[in-house]
Structure 1
Amino acid sequence: MNIGTCIRWAVLALFVVVLFPAASMASDTKLEEKVVVYSTHGESMLELVADAFEKETGVNVEFINLKGELADRVRAEKANPQSDVMYGAPSSVYQELKAEDLFVPFTPSWADKIKPLFKDKDGYWYGTIQTPVLMFYNSEMMSKDDAPKDWWDLANPKYKNQLVFRNALSSSARATYSSLLQQFEKKGDLDGGWKFLKAVDANTKRYYGSGSLQFQAVGRKEAPLSFAVLNSVIDNKIKNKMPLEIIDAESGSPVITDGIAVIKGAKHPNAARAFVEFAGGAKAQSMLANKFNRMPTHPDAIATAPQWMGEIQFRVMDVDWGDLASKQSQWMQHWDMEIKDSGKDKK
């Protein structure tokens, strides 16, 4: 075969790959008929993503909302996985399960666009939603000058009975309490961290098991101060007309990353990878941003998200989520048993 013929064949091959990419794919990339997704996200969010994915691929999505039981369920099924994808839960949980060999790596087409903060360096999980946790206050009860400037101010006795918080069953509360403890541990003073949380507990009027009850308490002026995920604060400020003001803490605020990963041993591996590709892409993230006020990790989705997502500025707390993954469960068990409501008996 002469050089001219070789060149013509090479050009033809490139033409086929570019115009007909499916023709260049191996046969084992054919998607299975369904994909099973375990998630912490609400059913309305899951239905939106599932319906869009099914419309685009023809793959049926079976999803189960497991909330706080998600990680334990995936662990329990390690020998015989019943799910293909884990969708939701903070990055610290993904780091725990990665260490337990429960995921397989995958590199979606958009992986390079995601900041290192929002993904695993080895490709075992990716963030689909960034969730800053910020302090806020009811401006009808408290002025900006009187409001705390940093998390450490919450231990000041002047804020006694001025705080209402979520309990540690909430993933955002778990991540926040643990992140604050880690700041003390970094300085070799974990005991100081527990003393801080105990002082905060003494100032806390009540803990709530749901976010709606927490915001209702602030709205009816039970107490002016709390913390929550940013999108919930914005939701209540805009939709419910609550007089809430956000505090940009001087030492930064924890930013939780809700993730997605392919489960090791998935029975529908190709559909699982396709779901991760779709759910983490700009299209799906933009849908969740506009319909559910969830802040994207994908920069292209930020551009089409509600305006506040690109405008609100906040400092990010320096949190080692990988290190936190191995300690959070133990720390929060201690918080629940030894810290929560420990100051109430002294009243």
Structure 2
Amino acid sequence: MKKLLALLLILLLSFSLVGCSNNDSTENDTANQLEDKLVIYSTHTDEMLELVAEEFKAETGIEVEYINLKGELADRVRAEKENPQADIMFGGASSLFMEMTEEGIFEPVETTWAKDLQDIFKDKDGNWYGTIQTPVMIFYNTEMLTEEEAPKDWIDLTDEKYKDLIVSRDTLSSSMRATLMSLVYQYDKEQKLDEAWNYLTALDANMKNYYSSGTLQFQAVGRKEAAISFAVQSSIVDNVVKNNVPLKIVDAKSGSPVITDGIAAIKNAPHPNAAKAFVEFAGSSKMQAKIANEFNRIPTLKEAIQNSPEWMKDSYKVMDVDWSVISKNQNEWLQKFDTEIRDANKDKAK
């Protein structure tokens, strides 16, 4: 009789454990279930966002809503920190992602391709990943300057012979901010910060205009209103190939700043599982290569570069930049440039 009771207890316990296991499995499945919607805040073009959204929906069935916030992206995400309205921050320099990581804004995500990324293209804890690498390079109109006359490095842009021959984006542009901060860092790392302000003052003196859009910037160079500028490499290539503008890129002696364009899932987002799925999807080698071929954006994954346009495989000198230092100082440095150095009379919105 005792043996029979013991056997019944064992069987009952076994069924109980199986039931608990099934319940745990059901709960985990529910927790990992993808939501039916995803909201993206981004700086990328509508055309790129539309492509990525359609591809993601085709693969997952998830509806994607995207909002292009350009220079207001970070401010919007920060303002909504306590009550996020978006799931994904897509676009912006790595220094900005580092800064916002310290503010506790992002949710770490594990991806299958993170192991293949260089350390400079990712956060060690998975708070953000770089999906696009963006060199900012000096270029000039070959109908206005010969190769001998053109600048060879960033310091050359302060030469008085280039006065009123230079134009650039204004500081609402993330690439412009990252470039200026990279140039300041070259002096800061040598503990010569005062010389950085002298450099930027001389650069501003030579600047003809600061433009509110890349289109206006390139039009100015194309119309020979200015001979020299600097912009992300892909935009320069676009204007040469698609618009037939006679531009030549300078492989600067001290190197070109390389901005890592990032992606991150927002903490406490309304659709957290869809957000994690999107980070995995958008950063994959397949999607990076597709964006490279359709929009001339250089991938961060080496595998994706092999399936990208030939010009992306060309080498160039990379400027020595510690983006973690920039992330801690950029607000102070930018404020000084905007309030004490930049001539606001040179701002052009049209």
Q: TM-score, normalised by structure 1?
A: 0.89
One of 138, 155, 176 as aligned partner of 1:173: 176
Question: How many residue pairs were aligned?
Answer: 321
One of 283, 299, 302 as aligned partner of 2:302: 299
Residue 12 of structure 2: aligned partner:
none
Which amino acid counterpart does residue 149 of structure 1 have in structure 2? K
Counterpart of 1:74 in structure 2 is: 77
Structure 1: segments with no counterpart, 5+ residues:
1-22
Separation in 2 of the partners of 1:75 and 1:105?
17
| 1:220 and 2:211 correspond | no
| 2-structure distance, mates of 1:268, 1:52 | 18
Partner Cα separation in structure 1 for residue 317 and residue 331 of structure 2: 26
Q: Deviations over 1:128-172 (max 9, x none)?
A: 111100000111111111111110111111211221111111111
**Could you tell me how far apart the structure 1 residues matched to 2:334 and 2:220 are?**
24
In the alignment, which residue of structure 2 is the partner of 1:240?
A: 243
CA contact (8 A) 1:253 1:315 kept: yes
Corresponding letter in the other structure for 1:319: V
Instruction: Tell me if 1:32 matches 2:32.
Output: no
> Once the 2 structures are TM-superposed, how far is the Cα of residue 31 of structure 1 from its aligned partner?
0.9
Instruction: Provide the C-alpha distance between the structure 1 equivalents of 2:173 and 2:214, rounded to a whole number of angstroms.
Output: 9
Which residue is equivalent to 2:320?
318
Query: Higher Cα Rg: structure 1 or 2?
Result: 2
Superposed, 1:144-163 pairs within 5 Å as 144-163=147-166
Q: CA RMSD in A?
A: 1.7
- What's the offset of the Cα at 1:25? 11
Q: What is the CA–CA distance in structure 1 between the aligned matches of 2:87 and 2:245, rounded to whole Å?
A: 40
Pick aligned residue for 2:55 from 52, 56, 71: 52
Q: Give the match for residue 342 of structure 2.
A: 340
1 CA distance for matches of 2:107 and 2:282?
17
What amino acid maps onto 1:172 in structure 2? S
- Aligned-partner Cα distance in 2 for 1:167–1:73: 20
- The residue type equivalent to 1:322 in the other structure is S
Distance, in Å, in 2 between the alignment partners of 1:267 and 1:213 is 38
Q: Which of these residues, 244, 267, 285, is aligned with residue 288 of structure 2?
A: 285
Q: What per-residue deviation string (whole Å, max 9, x for no partner) do you get for residues 293-334 of structure 1?
A: 111112221111111111x22111111111111221222222
Checking the alignment, whether the CA contact within 8 Å between 1:201 and 1:342 is kept in structure 2 is: no
2:137 aligned with 1:124:
no
2:281 alignment partner, SS class: helix
Separation in 2, partners of 1:322, 1:173: 18
- Structure 1 residues 343 and 275, CA, compared in 2 at 3 Å: closer, same or farther? closer
Distance in 2, Cα, partners of 1:238 & 1:158 = 29
Counterpart residue type for residue 330 of structure 1 = E
Q: 1:284 and 1:262 mapped to 2: Cα distance?
A: 17
CA contact (8 A) 1:202 1:343 kept: no
The equivalences for 1:93-108 within 5 A come to 93-108=96-111
Over the matched positions of the two proteins, sequence identity in percent amounts to: 57
Per-residue CA deviation, residues 94-148 of structure 1 (Å, 9 max, x unaligned), is 1111000011211200001111111112211001111100000111111111111
Residue 204 of structure 1: aligned partner: 207
**Cα separation, 2, equivalents of 1:332 and 1:26:** 46
